[in-house]
Amino acid sequence: MAFCRNCGNQMDDLASICVKCGVAKGNGNAFCPNCGQPTVPGAAVCTSCGVALNNTIEQKTSEKSKMAAGLLGIFLGAWGIHNFYLGNTNRGVIQLVLTLVTCGVAGIWGFIEGILILCGNINTDAKGNKLKD
């Protein structure tokens, strides 16, 4: 069982909204989702059970552009340029080497990643920061 983060009501694991307050599951930060006890504003962990309160930690926005990364992936992805741009140096080197070894056949990997970036399926840089739109 989980608890509503907005009102502390016990929720079924399969429920998508709280039946007591109508807030979507995972929204709110007044109550711990693990034990249902009130949380301290801005706290990283619940003072009652010690579980991390992920909703209180804001995700930083990267200076990297989703559009730039996606277009680099589509047009230069065979050489891993989009991964170098996002800070994934090891992945970029692997793409570069595979493209050279396979005479360009492995280049489809970068093309597909470029499309995934533009569609939003890949939306963070190497540091885990969300890409700018």
Prediction pTM value: 0.57
First CA to last CA distance, the chain: 36
Could you report the per-residue pLDDT of 46-90, keeping only the tens digit for each?
888 887 776 544 556 788 999 999 999 999 999 999 999 999 999
Q: Alpha-carbon distance 17 to 65, whole Å?
A: 33
Give phi and psi for 44, each to the nearest 5.
Answer: -85, -25
